[in-house]
């Protein structure tokens, strides 16, 4: 009897070794190498997504004919926006998020909306039985004869059902439960995830069926499994939010058919997820009036301006090293902006603890929020509130200058829509665009000028 060959595979990065090692040479993590039996070689041409034995010849790129394929749109405009205008036929998308955040709920609602448009949908659940999926469907009010549910984890059976039903949309929930019999390792391992995703990609591209894959996440928040998984798919979406809060954010971190800066906001209700069409009102509805350390910034999330409140609390430190903590923005930005305020404005902040928070749970990463953060820190330190009808936009340089930002016109229009009266922005952004009649735009060149204008005396 032939001896079975084994190898050790890192469960984080997919590095393979002939012997066990405590530390993976590929990613540097400890105790991630797991013993797996090497898969037997498959016969030539044996694929699950169809027989593609025909030899393909290279073509000149100028001779390839292209046509604009219509996207599949859902009833959720927020979902369509994140994907770049709708679902692309033949695309393979990965959606990840914390357990219980609402990934299955979102995809079941999307499946129901497509089925209501007379498009056959196949929902494959590897974690729940068909009855459990039916209970969720009843709660969400899903009733469509073209929505088919299958509780299966064998990749071969899944491929056969897709070939028989020929659906227009497929959901795999989740990829960590699917396995191939030819791969001698447990479901969820690096080898199984890689092979099953590869077969699903062949099915999606070969038959033109869009497939959405649900992926588990690690405790650090990254997609579980090899990084190769995110490289293989066409789009990677993260479903973010706190389980104990009602708002959820769908954010694209990779999209071959659209922008990766778009964001969709949903509200978790008893009957499922409901899209939030005007998130600025949601983020500002509980803002305290006349409180020191509170400012509002107009941030761009893709093509959409969002008004968000930034809160700062500055207090004398009780330790030798003052604390710098931030929620919703990069923590490394806080010491940088505080150093600018200390050096260029003259605020003595080296013995002060700083706590910065973006209200509403949204995460901001663009440089245009620098001025609002700096003003909120100065407002809390001086105990001088900002005017409630003011908005601050601008990037702060190390010399204390306020630099220009992109899409200033959209930011100002969003501020006018919500009733704000003044926008303090970089002076270099003035001119070349029309200002709404209800808003006064004030240009500043330095942080000191912004504080003189924005802080109440």
- CA–CA separation, 215 vs 197, rounded Å? 11
Tell me: is residue 97 an annotated ligand-binding position.
Answer: yes
Q: What is the mean pLDDT of residues 277-291?
A: 83
Specify the pLDDT at position 45: 41
Q: What pLDDT sits at residue 226?
A: 62
Which pLDDT band, with edges at 50, 70 and 90, does 147 fall under? very high
- Selected residue with higher pLDDT from 208 and 27: 208
Q: How do residues 415-426 score in pLDDT, each as one tens digit?
A: 998 999 999 999
Asked whether the beta carbons of 348 and 365 are under 8 A apart, the reply is no
Q: Is the pLDDT of residue 42 over 50?
A: no
Q: Is the peptide bond before 58 cis (omega within 30 degrees of 0)?
A: no
CA distance 285 to 101: 23
Q: Distance between CA atoms of 216 and 187, rounded to whole angstroms?
A: 13
Q: How do the domains of the chain map onto residue ranges?
A: 6-37, 77-277, 282-454
Between strands 92-97 and 211-215, the pairing is: parallel
Superfamily of domain 77-277: P-loop containing nucleotide triphosphate hydrolases (3.40.50.300)
User: Of 447, 406, 407, which Cα lies nearest the Cα of 424?
Assistant: 447
Q: Is 100 annotated as a binding residue?
A: yes
Q: Do the domains spanning 77-277 and 282-454 agree at the CATH topology level?
A: no
Write the pLDDT tens digit of every residue in 165-203.
999 999 999 899 999 988 877 888 888 888 899 999 999
Calculate Rg over the CA atoms of the chain.
Answer: 26
Query: CB-based contacts of 334: which residues, under 8 Å, 6+ apart?
Result: 324, 325, 326, 354, 356, 373
Q: In the Cβ-directed half-sphere of 233, how many Cα atoms lie within 13 Å?
A: 29
Tell me: is residue 141 an annotated ligand-binding position: no
Least confident of 49-58, 77-86, 313-322: 49-58
Higher pLDDT, 218 or 294: 294
Q: Is 330 annotated as a binding residue?
A: no
pLDDT at residue 44, rounded to an integer: 38
> What's the CA gap between 140 and 406, in Å, rounded?
40
Q: What local confidence, expressed as pLDDT, does residue 43 receive?
A: 43
Q: Is the dihedral of CA 104, 105, 107, 111 positive or negative?
A: positive
Domain 282-454, CATH: 3.30.230.10
pTM of the predicted structure, to 2 decimals? 0.75
Q: What is the mean pLDDT of the chain?
A: 88
Give the residue with greater pLDDT, 365 vs 354. Answer: 354
| DSSP β-bridge partners for residue 254 | 236
Percent of the chain exceeding pLDDT 70 equals 92
Could you give the CA distance from residue 263 to residue 280 in angstroms, rounded to a whole number? 13
CA distances from 365 to 227, 327, 332, 358, 429 (A): 23, 11, 11, 11, 20
Measure the CA–CA gap between 6 and 185, rounded to whole angstroms: 10
Q: Is the pLDDT of residue 31 over 80?
A: yes
Most distant CA atoms of the chain, gap in Å: 88
Pairing verdict, β 247-255 and 263-269:
antiparallel
Query: Is there a binding annotation on residue 104?
Result: yes
pLDDT digits (tens, 9 = 90+) for 209-247: 999 999 887 766 666 666 678 888 999 999 887 666 778
Count of H-run helices and E-run strands, the chain: 11, 21
pLDDT digits (tens, 9 = 90+) for 372-403: 999 999 999 999 999 999 999 999 999 999 99
pLDDT of residue 3: 58
Q: What is the DSSP letter of 438?
A: T
| Percent of the chain's residues with pLDDT above 90 | 56
Cα(71)–Cα(210) distance, rounded to whole angstroms?
10
């Amino acid at each position: 009897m032939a001896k079975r060959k084994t190898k050790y595979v890192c469960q984080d990065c997919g590095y393979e070794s002939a012997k066990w090692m405590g530390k993976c040479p590929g990613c540097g993590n400890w105790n991630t190498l797991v013993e797996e039996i090497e898969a037997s070689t498959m016969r030539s041409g044996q694929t699950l997504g169809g027989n593609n034995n025909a030899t393909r010849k290279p073509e000149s790129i100028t001779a390839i004919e292209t046509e604009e394929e219509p996207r599949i749109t859902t009833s959720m405009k927020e979902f369509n926006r994140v994907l770049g205008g709708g679902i692309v036929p033949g695309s393979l998308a990965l959606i990840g998020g914390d357990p219980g955040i609402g990934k299955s709920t979102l995809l079941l609602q999307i499946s129901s909306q497509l089925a209501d448009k007379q498009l056959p949908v196949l929902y494959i659940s590897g974690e729940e039985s068909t009855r459990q999926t039916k209970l969720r469907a009843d709660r969400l009010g899903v009733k469509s004869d073209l929505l088919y549910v299958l509780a299966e984890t064998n990749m071969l059976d899944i491929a056969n059902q897709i070939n028989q039903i020929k659906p227009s949309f497929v959901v795999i929930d989740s990829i960590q439960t699917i396995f191939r019999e030819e791969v001698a390792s447990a479901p969820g391992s690096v080898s199984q995830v890689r092979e099953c995703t590869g077969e699903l990609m062949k099915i999606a591209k070969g038959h033109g069926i869009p497939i959405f894959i649900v992926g588990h996440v690690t405790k650090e928040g990254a997609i579980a499994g090899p990084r190769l998984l995110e490289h293989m798919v066409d789009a990677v979406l993260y479903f973010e939010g706190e389980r104990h809060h009602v708002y959820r954010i769908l954010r694209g971190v990779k999209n071959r058919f659209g922008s990766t800066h778009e964001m969709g906001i949903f509200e978790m209700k008893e009957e499922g997820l409901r899209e939030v069409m005007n998130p600025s009102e949601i983020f500002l509805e509980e803002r305290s009036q006349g409180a020191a350390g509170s400012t509002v910034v107009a941030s761009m999330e893709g093509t959409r301006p969002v008004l968000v409140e930034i809160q700062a609390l500055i207090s004398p430190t009780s330790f030798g090293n003052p604390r710098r903590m931030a929620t919703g923005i990069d923590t490394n930005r806080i010491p940088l902006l505080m150093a600018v305020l200390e050096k260029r404005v003259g605020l003595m902040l080296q013995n002060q603890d700083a706590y910065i928070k973006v209200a509403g749970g949204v995460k901001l990463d663009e440089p245009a929020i620098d001025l609002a953060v700096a003003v909120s820190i100065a407002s809390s330190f001086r105990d001088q509130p900002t005017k409630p009808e003011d908005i601050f936009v601008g990037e702060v340089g190390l010399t204390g200058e306020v630099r220009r930002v992109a899409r200033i016109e959209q930011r100002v229009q969003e501020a006018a829509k919500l009733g704000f009266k003044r926008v303090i922005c970089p002076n270099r952004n003035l001119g070349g665009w029309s200002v709404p009649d209800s808003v006064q735009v004030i240009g500043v060149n330095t942080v000191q000028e912004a504080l003189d204008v924005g802080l109440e005396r």
